Amino acid sequence: MRVAFYAPLKAPGQGFAPSGDRRVAGLLMAALVHSGERVELISTFRSYDPDGDRERQAALRAQGEALGRSLASQWRGLPREDRPDLWFTYHLYYKAPDWLGPIVAAALGIPYVIAEASYAAKRAGGPWALGHEASAAAIRAAALLVCPTRDDIAGLRQLVPQERILHLPPFLDLEPYRGAAAAREESRGRLAREHGLDPSLPWIAVVAMMRHGDKLASYRALAATLARVADLPWRLLVVGDGPARAEARGALESAVPGRTVFLGEVRNRDIAPVYAACDLSVWPAVNEAYGMALLEAQAAGLPVVSCALRGVPDVVVDGETGILVKEGDFEALAHALRGLLVDRERRRDLGRGAAAFVLRERSLEMAAERLARALKQISA
């Protein structure tokens, strides 16, 4: 089956700034390929309006609809075997609606699928009303809605029946993490030499872009959390960069001076060894959709300390793969972190549980199988 893939918020692929969103898009494409589909990234057109500018939204709509009509016209002129059999859109919401997919799918008479769609009635009539209405129409038109977390399902059920919703939790290609775990001591020794780290101390891993908004809020909450355990010996390794680097670094250096190694932006393939070299991961996850970095840490065998909000409980199993505390309770977050810093055996037990959980339930192969079954049903 030929699949036309599109991401209106952030197109996946090389040449773009790294982000969790692009990471998930790439994993979905990989899962489709693994299940035997022929996948093509159809367009890099970005429909995102961050500011609630109605004129900009109208202009984006005009551009997107024109592009959709053009694609449909091109494909209608080709033999059936050269057209897409299915349209697959990743991450649709009121700030980044899909102006292309519904037009093409309707014109070609092919199924329209959305992964990670969200809908909130409170957005009606606001500054993003155009995108809100377009997203609602696209959701209603979808033959299948693939949801990575249960958090979005309630909103979608206002528009479509439950049988059109597939809960497909976040997943990973586990091969890099298996290799990294096997080479843990080598990676730990290298990082210790390069950055003057004491390998006898617990190392805490954080992988997150340094952007204003929720990411920066998480960095500031992390700094406040770490300040509460400053009496204990540990080191923090941070992978990430971005426009808020000065604020994020400043928050950590002010709260826990001299404790952090900033590794900057690291290629995806080189992140797994950093995780594996560490002992645990902590992240406040302020307004985080679910946090792919939390799943990656667990794949490398690290226990995770985070907050039980939005989709995080779909990624971290409290008491089995890590510890979750109440949203915004950073005193409790620090208490949980303290417990793991002083208890090596508990860290190891949760780390083993984390690696086993990801292998058992969150592999690329398992996701590909579930996705293939769902697509077969709507394409029959």
Reduce the DSSP state of residue 131 to 3 states and report it.
helix
Confidence of residue 151 (pLDDT cuts 50, 70, 90): confident
* pLDDT surpasses 60 at 15: no
* Whether 157 and 201 share a structural domain: no
CA within 13 Å, CB half, 267: 6
Quote the tokens at residue 307: 């907050």
- Supply the pTM of this predicted model: 0.89
Cα gap 253→261, rounded to integer Å: 10
Residue 380 banded pLDDT, cuts 50, 70, 90: low
Do residues 135 and 249 share a domain?
A: no
Mean pLDDT of 67-86: 95
Query: Do 134 and 107 belong to one domain?
Result: yes
Q: Within this chain, do residues 123 and 179 fall inside the same structural domain, yes or no? A: no
Angle between helices 245-255 and 214-227 in degrees, nearest 10: 10
Cα(268)–Cα(270) distance, integer angstroms: 5
For residues 79 and 94, membership in a common domain is answered with yes
Give the per-residue pLDDT at 115.
97
Query: Within this chain, do residues 223 and 210 fall inside the same structural domain, yes or no?
Result: yes
Taking all residues of the chain, what is their mean pLDDT, rounded to a whole number?
A: 94
What per-residue confidence (pLDDT) applies to 12? 87
Q: Can you tell me the distance from the alpha carbon of 256 to that of 319, in angstroms, rounded to the nearest whole number?
A: 28
Total domain count for the chain?
Answer: 2
* 346/267 same-domain check: yes
User: Domain of 92: which CATH number?
Assistant: 3.40.50.2000
Same-domain check for residues 98 and 148:
yes
- Domain extent, residue 118, equals 2-171+363-379
Each residue's pLDDT tens digit, 275-315: 999 999 999 999 888 889 999 999 999 999 999 988 899 89
- Burial (CB < 10 A; 0-12, 13-18, 19+), residue 366, is middle
CA distance 195 to 248: 20
Cβ–Cβ < 8 Å for 308, 150: no
Specify the 3-state DSSP secondary structure of 133. Answer: helix
pLDDT of residue 203: 98
> Domain check: are 214 and 90 in the same one?
no
- Tell me: do 278 and 343 sit in the same domain: yes
Question: 188 and 120, same structural domain?
Answer: no
Domain shared by 160 and 20, yes or no: yes
Summarize the confidence of residues 125-149 as an average pLDDT.
95
Express each pLDDT in 317-349 by its tens digit: 999 999 999 988 999 999 999 999 999 999 999
**What tokens appear for 124 in the block?**
């009606």
- The answer to whether residue 268 scores a pLDDT higher than 80 is no
Token digits of residue 138: 């696209």
pLDDT above 70: percentage of residues in the chain:
98
Beta strand pairing call for 260-264 and 203-207: unpaired
Dist CA 353 CA 336 (whole Å): 17
